[in-house]
Amino acid sequence: MHLCVCRYASHVSVNSNVEQKNSRLALKLLLVVLGMTGFGFALIPLYDVLCELTGINGKVGTRVDSSTLNYVVDKERNLGLDLVTSLGKATPLIVETETKSLQIHPGQFYVVNYRVHNQADKALTIRAVPSVAPGVAAADFKIIECFCFEPLRLEAGEAKNLPLRFVVNPGIAQQSNHLALAITFLNTNKD
């Protein structure tokens, strides 16, 4: 029995052949592992693209150049739009919108003003995150000008009026007749 062990284990011609095959396969599988690691990270941009297309979470995309939009105002359709704001934890702001809800026509450009007042006695860097409900309408909700694209700095006690300009694609689905634009103000100071 033992003799067999030795012969098998030490038989260079057979063994090295199989060993070579083994390490080659292991290497190939390692490449798959590396590829899947890359894929894991690639999911981040992929997801963003997918979100913009499908409106997962009502995620609103980035700034839209208004000159690229050729919308015709649809006076026949009236959509409800609620402007809601939320504050994250540890975000000492008072946020007001000039109106809480409005009726809009798809294709028409609108500006709404947000007034943000820093209640703290120190400067804050705020990130405003827009989100649209229903999620499917997010792709049709085009934000042209917004304070939500860059971090927003507010000095201690400072109040700012911030305009948000948007238009809704006239091609928006019929069932999306009542939208909500939710903007969450999050304090990014990490102390």
Partner 1 sequence: MSAVVAEHEHDHEHDHHDHGPAKGILRWIITTNHKDIGTLYLLFALVMFFVGGAMAMVIRAELFEPGMQFVEPQFFNSMTTMHALVMVFGAVMPAFVGLANWMIPMMIGAPDMALPRMNNMSFWMLVAGVLLLASTLFMEGGAPASGWTLYPPLVLQTGKALPFAVFSVHLLGVSSIMGAINIIATIFNMRAPGMTLMKMPLFVWTWLITGFLLVAIMPVFAGAVTMLLTDRFFDTSFFDAAGGGDPVLYQHIFWFFGHPEVYVMILPTFGVASTIIPVFARKPLFGYSSMVYATAAIAFLSFIVWAHHMFTVGLPMAGELYFMYATMLIAIPTGVKVFNWTATMWKGSMTFETPMLFSIAFVVLFTMGGLTGLMMSVAPLDFQYHDTYFIVAHFHYTLVPASVFILMAAGYYWLPKWTGHMYDEKIGKLHFWLSAVSVNILFFPQHFLGLAGMPRRIPDYAVQFADWNMISSIGGFIFGASQLLFLYIVIHTIKGGTGEKVTDEVWEDAAKHGLEWTLPSPPPYHSFTTPPTIIPTEHI
Partner 2 sequence: MKKTKQLIACLTLMAIGLGSAHADYALNLMQGVTQVSNDLYDLHMLILWICVFIGAGVFGVMFYSIYHHRKSKGHVAEQFHENTTIEIIWTIIPTLILIGMAIPATKAMLELDDVKEAQMSIKVTGWQWKWEYEYLDNGIHFFSSLDEASNKARQVGSGVDPRSVPHYLLNVDKPLVVPVKTKIRFLYTAADVIHSWWVPDLGWKKDAIPGYVNEAWTSVDKPGTYRGQCTELCGKDHAFMPIVVIAMEKPDYDAWVKKTKDELAKANDVSDLSHDELVAKGAEVYAKNCSSCHLPGGEGVPGAFPAISGSALVNGDINAQANLILNGKGMMPAFGKMLNATELAQVITYTRNALGNKKGDEIQPKAIQALQGGTAVVESKAAEAPKEAAKVDVKAKLSKDELLAKGKEVYAASCASCHQADGAGMAGTFPAITGSKLVTGDIKNQVALMSNGKGMMPAFGTMLNPVDFAAVVTYTRNALGNKVGDMIQPADVQPLLAKK
Chain residues that interact with partner 1, rule: CB under 8 A: 1-11, 13-14, 18, 21-23, 25-26, 29-30, 32-34, 36-37, 39-41, 43-44, 47, 51, 54-59, 88, 127, 129, 135-136, 184, 186-188, 190
DSSP reduced 3-state for 100? coil
CB 111 within 8 A of CB 86: no
Helices 2-10 and 12-54: angle between axes, nearest 10 degrees = 70
**Cα 72 from Cα 170, distance rounded (Å):** 7
Total site size for partner 2, rule CB under 8 A: 56
Q: Going by C-beta distance under 8 Å and a sequence separation of 6 or more, which residues neighbour residue 162?
A: 113, 114, 115, 116, 147, 152
User: Smallest gap, in angstroms, from Cβ of residue 73 to partner 2?
Assistant: 11
d(CA 96, CA 114): 6
Please select the residue that binds partner 2; options are 35, 38, 151, 163, rule is CB under 8 A: 163
Q: Per rule CB under 8 A, is residue 75 in the interface with partner 2?
A: no
What is the Cα–Cα distance from 169 to 146, expressed in whole angstroms? Answer: 17
Query: Residue 3 CB, nearest distance to partner 1 (Å)?
Result: 8
96: number of Cβ within 10 Å: 15
Rule CB under 8 A: say whether 105 interacts with partner 2: no
Q: Identify what 103 binds: partner 2, partner 1, none; CB under 5 to 8 Å per kind.
A: none
Residue 19 or residue 98: which is nearer to partner 2 going by CB?
Answer: 98
Q: Closer CB to partner 2, residue 23 or residue 119? A: 119
Under 8 Å between Cβ of 103 and 79: yes
What residue ranges bind partner 2 (CB under 8 A)? 57-59, 66-67, 82, 84, 86-92, 94, 96, 98, 100-101, 109-113, 115, 117, 119-121, 129, 131-135, 144-145, 147, 157, 159-163, 165, 175-178, 180, 182, 184, 186-187, 190-191
